[in-house]
């Protein structure tokens, strides 16, 4: 079992020849899911989180495709160019898993490596619980196994305070976009200004589209239950048998180190934990480090 952190020396980002990316629309029970596809070879499924789109993975898509992988990167329902159903219940985890199944079936993929960040990591865990036979290797960024999150105790609950706040319909919708998204920039980006980071600018542009903010908040409203938020001990939860790589960033404002480093306790297969420097949006903010870790783990 390898629980060592990533090496401290900076990783040099290697230039790669630009790989063409094609976008497809996949029907998932009447919901149109936009999917970016690049490369040819062994499949790798990339799942973004709140409030992103497949564009979060642009640098990883290029590197993976250039190294002989077929990259499949959907926009989660409610995000990017995918449909935004109005009903909160349309964002429940079983339906998100159904979207993944529809995407993989559309491209004729029966087994794949899965990489997820934020809500995409939560989806990646859940998909692996439900369909272990379809997951060759699992990489989770930022969000650890739900059992490890519960075991991390009050520290993690305090960091996740906003999840309960998001459940109050109309509140976040009014507060986050006010004054040029000042509250969003302060909460999610530690007070960054427009122009400080292209990922921040892209998030604000996406969230400013009609219905987009409510759709992304519905991920929380459909899947977070206040009555189970402060469980003192973890219930019996599924374990994972495939190789798992868990990656946590040292400047994450929302997720503790313990909820990721402790995830190995729920993994029966090979487990590796790595740290990278930077804030929460690892694919955009630590692209070279992440790409190096992925290429090593997936090889």
pLDDT value at residue 206: 96
Residue 3 lies in a domain: no
The contacts of residue 14 (CB under 8 Å, 6+ apart) are 63
pLDDT value at residue 198: 92
C-alpha span between 202 and 37 (Å, rounded) = 20
Question: What total number of domains does the chain contain?
Answer: 1
Q: How far is CA 1 from the centre of its chain?
A: 24
Residue 9 lies in a domain: no
Residue 213 lies in a domain: no
pLDDT value at residue 149: 94
pLDDT value at residue 195: 82
Residue 161 lies in a domain: no
Residue 115 lies in a domain: yes
Q: If the chain, 299 residues long, is cut into consecutive pieces of 10 residues, what is the mean pLDDT of each piece?
A: 43 64 98 98 98 98 98 99 98 99 99 99 99 99 96 93 96 97 94 89 96 98 90 84 99 97 98 97 97 98
pLDDT value at residue 8: 43
Catalytic residue numbers, as ranges: 118, 280
pLDDT value at residue 5: 42
pLDDT value at residue 4: 43
pLDDT value at residue 96: 99
pLDDT value at residue 233: 75
Range of the domain at 125: 22-155+232-298
pLDDT value at residue 15: 54
Neighbours of 285 (CB within 10 A): 17
Residue 14 lies in a domain: no
Residue 192 lies in a domain: no
pLDDT value at residue 7: 43
- Domain of 75, CATH number, reads 3.40.50.1820
Residue 211 lies in a domain: no
**What pTM, to 2 d.p., does this model score?**
0.93
């Amino acid at each position: 079992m390898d629980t060592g952190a990533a090496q401290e020396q900076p990783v040099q980002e290697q230039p790669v020849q630009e790989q063409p990316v094609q976008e497809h629309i996949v029907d998932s029970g009447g919901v149109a899911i936009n999917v970016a596809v690049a490369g040819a070879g062994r499949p790798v499924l990339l799942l973004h989180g709140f409030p992103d789109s497949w564009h979060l993975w642009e640098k990883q898509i290029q590197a993976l495709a250039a190294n002989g992988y077929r990259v499949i990167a959907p926009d989660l329902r409610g995000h990017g160019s995918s449909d935004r159903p109005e009903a909160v219940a349309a964002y429940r985890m079983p339906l998100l898993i159904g979207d993944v199944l529809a995407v993989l079936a559309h491209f004729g993929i029966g087994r794949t490596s899965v990489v997820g960040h934020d809500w995409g990591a939560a989806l990646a865990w859940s998909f692996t619980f439900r369909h272990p036979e379809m997951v060759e290797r699992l990489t989770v960024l930022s969000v650890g196994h739900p059992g490890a999150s519960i075991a991390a105790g009050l520290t993690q609950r305090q960091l996740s305070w906003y999840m309960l706040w998001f459940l109050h319909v109309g509140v976040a919708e009014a507060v986050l976009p006010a004054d040029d998204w000042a509250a969003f920039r302060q909460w999610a980006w530690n007070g960054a200004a427009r122009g400080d980071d292209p990922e921040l600018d892209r998030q604000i542009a996406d969230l400013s589209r009609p219905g987009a903010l409510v759709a992304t908040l519905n991920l929380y409203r459909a899947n977070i239950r206040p009555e189970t938020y402060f469980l003192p001990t973890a219930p019996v939860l599924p374990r994972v048998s495939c190789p798992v790589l868990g990656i946590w960033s040292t400047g994450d404002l929302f997720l503790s180190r313990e909820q990721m480093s402790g995830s190995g306790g729920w993994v029966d297969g090979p487990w590796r934990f790595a740290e990278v420097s930077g804030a929460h949006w690892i694919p955009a903010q630590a692209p070279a480090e992440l790409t190096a870790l992925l290429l090593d783990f997936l090889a």
